């Protein structure tokens, strides 16, 4: 009898919770179209410190966020009018094609396959594949990696590079996210984490990790970060390119780099020229 009451009550609570969330979300459908005085939807990453991160306060931070805010400002949208949308790596091309977002700034490297699907403004940052190691580590060049334990993200370009060219003999562990790799590095399960230096610098600059890790400073590849826009949307593409040019010339670009990547000893490349892709 007692149990019966308890389960019935918990079922009621569950039902209430469902009803509450259902109500809560049904009243924000007014932000459908972009452009004009309304809102603009921008695709970013939510879980990459220094690049694009949803903070506990609900606000967003990171280099991509700063770039996107600046660009949106030049397109005529105040920061309050930007609606941030999480675009997972696998969904970036489709999200643009469907028009879910106006543009994407989400550590989005320009390559030939992607260029067939979307148009890229920029590049706005030249990143390199690099290693993050513990502060006292003696790994200093790519060949040191053979026989060492290395971590990267499943299916990522960095992981593929390691297996094909950089260090085929390295013992490669793969996780679905960078956070997991960093945790493995911290617990000593792996000797190094590899991906773009910008992403690594973002993690290493976090308060919780400050002073524990360092970047090896190897330039293992060139990753040209671009702003993705819908294929054929040349008007927006041009506006974004102009915005990126001003961002560099008025100093906001350097400010954003220092703010987001500074603490990890990350030496950034000079701002790339629009349309100039470093292979």
Residues 137-176 that bind other proteins (CB under 8 A): 149, 154-157, 159-160, 171-176
What gap in Å lies between CA 64 and CA 25, rounded to an integer?
A: 27
Least Cβ distance, residue 265 to other proteins (angstroms)? 18
Which residue, 137 or 252, has its beta carbon nearer to other proteins? 137
Q: Does 80 bind other proteins (CB under 8 A)?
A: no
Token representation of residue 278: 């470093």
Q: What's the closest the beta carbon of residue 111 comes to other proteins, in angstroms?
A: 8
Pick between residue 47 and residue 250 the one whose CB is nearest to other proteins.
Answer: 47
Distance CA 104, CA 92 (A): 8
Number of residues that bind other proteins (CB under 8 A): 77
Map tokens 């590049």 to a residue: 123
CB of 38 to other proteins, least distance (A): 13
In this complex, which beta carbon is closest to other proteins, that of residue 117 or of residue 259? 117
Measured on CA atoms in the order 252, 257, 263, 269, is the torsion positive or negative?
Answer: negative
Q: Measured from the CB of residue 254, what is the shortest distance to other proteins in angstroms?
A: 25
Cα 64 to Cα 150, 171, 204, 243: the distances in Å are: 27, 32, 17, 14
Helix ranges (H only) for 126-251 are 157-161, 178-187, 197-204, 234-249
Among positions 179-238, residues that touch other proteins (CB under 8 A) are 179-180, 182-184, 186-189, 206, 208-209
Segment near other proteins (CB under 8 A), from 39-47, 65-73, 130-138, 234-242?
39-47
Backbone φ and ψ of 67, nearest 5°: -60, -45
Q: Tell the smallest beta-carbon distance from residue 109 to other proteins (Å).
A: 10
Of 43-51, 74-82, 243-251, 265-273, which part binds other proteins (CB under 8 A)? Answer: 43-51
Q: How far is the CB of 125 from other proteins (least distance, A)?
A: 19
Judged by beta carbon, residue 51 or residue 218, the one nearer other proteins is 51
Instruction: Considering the complex, state which of residue 82 and residue 159 has its C-beta at the smaller distance from other proteins.
Output: 159
Asked if 1 interacts with other proteins (CB under 8 A), we say no
Rounded to 5°, angle at Cα 74 from 70 and 127: 40
Residues 6+ apart with CB under 8 A from 193: 131, 132, 133, 150, 151, 152, 178, 181, 182, 184, 185, 200
């Amino acid at each position: 009898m007692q149990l019966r009451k308890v389960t019935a009550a918990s079922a009621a609570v569950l039902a209430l919770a469902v009803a509450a969330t259902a109500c809560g979300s049904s009243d924000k459908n007014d932000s459908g179209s972009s452009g004009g005085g309304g809102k603009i939807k921008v695709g970013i990453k939510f879980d990459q410190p220094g690049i694009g991160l949803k903070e506990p306060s609900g606000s967003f931070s990171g280099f991509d966020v700063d770039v996107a805010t600046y660009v949106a400002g030049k397109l005529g949208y105040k920061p309050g009018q930007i609606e941030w949308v999480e675009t997972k790596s696998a969904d970036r091309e489709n999200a643009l094609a469907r028009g879910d977002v106006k543009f994407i700034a989400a550590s989005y490297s320009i390559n030939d396959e992607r260029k067939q699907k979307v148009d890229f403004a920029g590049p706005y940052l030249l990143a390199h594949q690099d290693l993050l190691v513990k502060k006292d580590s003696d790994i200093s060049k790519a060949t040191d990696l053979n026989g060492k334990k290395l971590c990267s993200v499943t299916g990522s370009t960095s992981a593929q590079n390691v297996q094909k060219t950089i260090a085929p003999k390295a013992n490669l562990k793969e996780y679905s996210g960078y956070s997991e790799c960093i945790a493995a590095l911290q617990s000593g399960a792996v000797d190094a984490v590899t991906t773009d230096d910008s992403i690594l610098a973002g993690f290493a600059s976090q308060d919780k990790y400050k002073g524990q890790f360092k970047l090896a400073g190897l330039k293992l590849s060139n990753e040209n970060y671009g702003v993705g826009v819908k294929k054929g949307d040349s008007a927006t593409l041009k506006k974004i390119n102009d915005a990126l040019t001003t961002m560099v010339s008025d100093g906001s670009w350097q400010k954003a780099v220092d703010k987001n990547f500074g603490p990890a000893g990350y030496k950034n490349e000079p701002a790339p020229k629009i349309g100039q892709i470093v292979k």
